[in-house]
Amino acid sequence: MSLARETPLPGASFGATLRLKGTAPEIVAAAERDPAALPAALAEAKGLLLIQGMNAIADDPDLLVRLSRVFGPEVEDYRHTLTDLKSVHVSVPEILLVSNMPPVGKAPPKRPEPPLAADGLIPVQYPHRKGWHTDQSYRRPPPDISLFYAVTPAAPDTGQTLFANGILAYAALPADLKARVDKLDGLHAQPGTGRSREAALAGRTPRAFASHERSQRQPLVRTHPVTGERSLYLCEWGQMDWFEGPFVGMEPGPHGAGAVLLDEIMAHLTERQFCYAHEWTQGDLLIWDNRCLVHAATWFDGDREGRLMWRTTVHGNPGAHYAGEIKSWIPVA
């Protein structure tokens, strides 16, 4: 498969745009014939690939699943992973619907205040920007890759997807901070289990966990199983456990020493120099590596427009750290 590419992504210092010949079905068939090509390009681009003009996926959603299979041994079937079925594609259960429209009805994130950063661009840095996370980090083993396809994107300059690169941010840490974060584990919480920073600040008592929904430890610095690169791996307000965490063995809670460190690390990770903001065009496909990137959604006017995106999630190569583990999120019968 010949992979003409432009690198990095516009305005960023990582990522690549692939310029592939042919229609979406031809591109998927070429990727299947040479299954190492796209994963190698993803690793080389430090975790983010853009392929444009994939519009035929909208009429043949199985193309997205076939392309996902190139990236790993297991494409999640959302019927078996306790996902709300109204967010699952009716005929292709490997596709998660991300939308503000019925039946999903998920509201867009709030607009940051102020709406623009001091440099006049869309804000990326935490805590001005919130919502940074890596997909399903509340599961062990966590997933590898997400594919995200724009069926109907939001209006221009809204509904972007932001990315911050944990490899670049880790490499730029001062040596003393590197030594500190190398030894830590974060405690990641599933949204909806009542463990958010808002809940802790409001003094709410979290409900008891079912065993399969427990918050999960994850190393704050992960070693990439393909490239060996070291990367920051953490989330913030909505996807860490702010009652027992955010870090194992540090003072817990929203005002503890763990909170101070998380705020410092997350502000560093989301500095503009480590970020990319994707402006969506219909037919765009983004492929990202959750093992080394965090991402965040941005506001769009959900009262006036309907946005529909399709996501698949690829599992199966989390690295030696997770060797032999059974899935934490599946209830044991």
- C-beta of 107 vs 323, nearer to Fe ion: 107
CB of 96 to Fe ion, least distance (A): 10
Question: Pairing mode, if any, of strands 48-51 and 16-19?
Answer: parallel
- C-beta of 135 vs 241, nearer to Fe ion: 135
CB of 131 to Fe ion, least distance (A): 9
Structure tokens belonging to residue 85: 């079925």
CB of 295 to Fe ion, least distance (A): 6
Residues of span 125-164 touching Fe ion by CB under 5 A: 135
The CB-nearest residue to Fe ion is 135
CB of 2 to Fe ion, least distance (A): 31
- C-beta of 30 vs 98, nearer to Fe ion: 98
Residues contacting 67, CB < 8 A, separation 6+ = 27, 28, 31, 38, 147, 285
CB of 134 to Fe ion, least distance (A): 8
CB of 79 to Fe ion, least distance (A): 20
Residues contacting 241, CB < 8 A, separation 6+ = 187, 188, 189, 195, 215
- C-beta of 142 vs 252, nearer to Fe ion: 142
* CB environment 237-253: b (16+ within 10 A), e (fewer): bbbbbbbbbbbbebebb
- C-beta of 109 vs 253, nearer to Fe ion: 109
# residues near Fe ion by CB under 5 A: 1
- C-beta of 49 vs 261, nearer to Fe ion: 49
| Residue 76 sits in the site that holds Fe ion (CB under 5 A) | no
- Binding positions for Fe ion, rule: CB under 5 A: 135
